[in-house]
Amino acid sequence: MSKAAVWGSLIIGATLALAGCGNVPGVPDHTYFRMPPVAKLPVSPKPVFVTPLVVGLFNADGLYADRALVYAINPEATELRQYHYQLWTDPPTRLLQRRLKVELREAEIAPLVTDELAASQAAIRISGQILRFERVPTVNGGYLASVVIKLRADRPDGTPQTDEIYRADVEAVDNRLISTTEALFAAADQIFAEFYEDLLASEKYEHAR
């Protein structure tokens, strides 16, 4: 067999091997997790705010900015890793923004709750920063959803009306990963409920000044 024929056979073999890589046994499929249904905040009998509320895209640094789910390898959560094949449908920065926007809108506390409004229009602008959003093993063999979010509301003039760091931990009902994802958003809902109360209190204080 000539050298050209040998090289041709090698190239064909390599091509076939690469083509089959997509079906290699044992390689897991990617799994994508959606948000569970949003929680309900207390509905206001009348709008508390006269200006629109604008919920901006949340911020996050490092691991929390990615779509991969984050988990701790010890109960103290001193070491973190990312899952390789378990992903959110969108980054948590987007998922949590949408969730807070819907919850505030359904609470009917303002004439408009949106995620986009011209910078020239007067509004209360809400921003969030994800500081923790992870799965943590417990000493009893279960898992905890640990969430820390910094939430701030700015007045139309740009000064802060409220600016706090909120924390919530919710234990997953079982060891399945989907149960932890549900617990993560349950923890986020606890944080949003606390922020909601602070937001209402701050606006009532504004009117009392």
Note down pLDDT in tens along the chain; length 209 residues.
Answer: 555 554 455 444 544 444 444 455 666 789 999 999 999 999 988 899 999 999 999 999 999 999 999 999 999 999 999 999 999 999 999 999 999 999 999 999 999 999 999 999 999 999 999 999 999 999 999 999 999 999 999 999 999 999 999 999 999 999 999 999 999 999 999 999 999 999 999 987 565 55
Stated as kind and residue range, the H or E segment containing 19 is helix 3-19
Per-residue pLDDT at 24: 54
Per-residue pLDDT at 201: 93
CATH number for 30-208 (one of 3.30.470.20, 1.10.10.10, 3.40.30.10, 3.40.50.10610): it is: 3.40.50.10610
Per-residue pLDDT at 27: 67
Question: Hunting for tokens 């988990």 — which residue is that?
Answer: 71
Per-residue pLDDT at 38: 94
Give Dmax over CA atoms of the chain in angstroms: 94
Per-residue pLDDT at 203: 81
Give which of 165, 31, 24 is closest to 88, Cα–Cα: 31
Long-range contacts of 71-79 (CB under 8 A, 24+ apart): 71/134, 71/135, 71/136, 72/134, 72/135, 72/136, 72/137, 72/146, 73/137, 74/137, 75/136, 75/137, 75/138, 75/139, 77/132, 77/134, 77/136, 77/146
Per-residue pLDDT at 20: 46
Give which of 78, 62, 81 is closest to 70, Cα–Cα: 81
Q: Where are the domains of the chain?
A: 30-208
Per-residue pLDDT at 15: 47
DSSP 53-122: EEEPPPEE-GGGGSSEEEEESSTT--SEEEEEEEEESS-HHHHHHHHHHHHHHHHT-SS-EES---TTS-
Helix (H, G, I), strand (E, B) or coil at 144: strand
Asked if residues 87 and 33 have their Cβ atoms less than 8 Å apart, the reply is yes
Q: C-alpha angle 118/124/128, rounded to 5°?
A: 95
Per-residue pLDDT at 160: 95
